[in-house]
Structure 1
Amino acid sequence: MQLNWEVKKFSQLTAREVFEIFKARESVFVVEQKCPYHEIDGNDLKSLHVYAVDDDQQIVAYARIFKEENAVTFGRVLANPKYRGQGIGKTLISEVLRVIAKTVPGELIMIEAQEYIQPLYAYFGFKKISETYLIDNIPHVRMAKKVV
């Protein structure tokens, strides 16, 4: 499948794009993972939103990138369930890292990764830097990578 990637600040998103992004995130993080929490937060306003849509304008894959105090981070990483198992996750992380290298080269990248997905991030050179801890009853680890 050929994906056309979009990279937009929150202020550049159309109402439809915001709706599709929030719908996809709620579907995965709140409903599928059974985590009743405030999925929409202030980080959305300062993030670069990286995503691809299908012909019906449904989100295929999504992540958001934003600056923290001493690093850049990305999160809300998702692949639409109907597209999983096709390498979409690797394609998404490749795109996220390309955007980070272009927009904030040389920055340290720090992420909070769900524990089960560590191998995907390790594939891209991320190293585990913490013990396992819980966020909304889901095991996570901190991982880091320096981008040149």
Structure 2
Amino acid sequence: MSPQAYHVDVRRLDAFSALDLHAMLKLRVDVFVVEQNCAYPELDDHDLEALHLRLLDEDQVIACARFWQPPDAPPRIGRVAVSQAHRGQRLGEALMREAISACQDRFPRQPIAISAQSHLQGFYGSLGFEKVSEEYVEDGISHVDMLRAAM
């Protein structure tokens, strides 16, 4: 699949049909809980306040992320996931570029924060994020906080 073979959908959680919601949440659970063998509360209250961005191939969710602005903090992008069947096609980069753009449109002239798995610092660094914390362990996985300067 070429990077242009997908379309982008951004919406609040309550705007999903039951089937669309199931597909997105299944992708997240498959990646974060099953593949990473990490038992943690995948669904949280941030889902209720976030906008959810999906990359779709026809009606199939192939990647997703969420973004929101916590009180008194910069906007955040999180739960970045690409389906296992669609990896190696630069969809992670495409997904993050779409998420950054959508975040900048809704929260202009503000930095963007992420909590990145430590082994992905180079990837996120290539998208303009800089490490702003020491490494820490969250849900058994090493992470660092990263920030992308306001544009």
Aligned to 1:68: 70
Once superposed, which parts of structure 1, at least 4 consecutive aligned residues long, lie more than 4 Å away? none
Runs of 5+ unmatched residues, structure 1: none
1:126 counterpart residue number: 129
Taking the aligned partners of 1:58 and 1:118, their CA distance within structure 2 comes to 28
**Which of the numbers 49, 58, 65 marks the counterpart of 1:46?**
49
CA apart distance, 1:54: 2.5
Aligned AA (2:24):
I
Q: Secondary structure at the match of 1:35?
A: coil
What amino acid is the match of 2:60? Answer: Q
What secondary structure is seen at the aligned counterpart in 1 of 2:148? strand
Which of 78, 82, 101 does residue 81 from structure 2 map onto?
Answer: 78
2:14 counterpart residue number:
11
Aligned AA (1:6): D
Question: What's the offset of the Cα at 1:24?
Answer: 0.5
Tell me how far apart the structure 2 counterparts of residues 58 and 136 of structure 1 sit (CA, whole Å). 29
How far apart, in 2, do the equivalents of 1:145 and 1:36 lie?
A: 29
Per-residue deviation, 1:10: 1.2
Are positions 1:33 and 2:44 aligned together? no
> What TM-score does the superposition give when structure 1 sets the normalisation length?
0.95
Aligned pair 1:137/2:143, yes or no? no
Structure-2 separation of matches of 1:66 and 1:136: 21
Look up the match of 1:146.
Answer: 149
The number of aligned residues is 147
Decide which of 100, 103, 106 is 1:100's aligned counterpart.
Answer: 103
Please give the TM-score of this superposition, normalised by the length of structure 2. Answer: 0.93
> Within 2, Cα distance between the matches of 1:101 and 1:109?
8
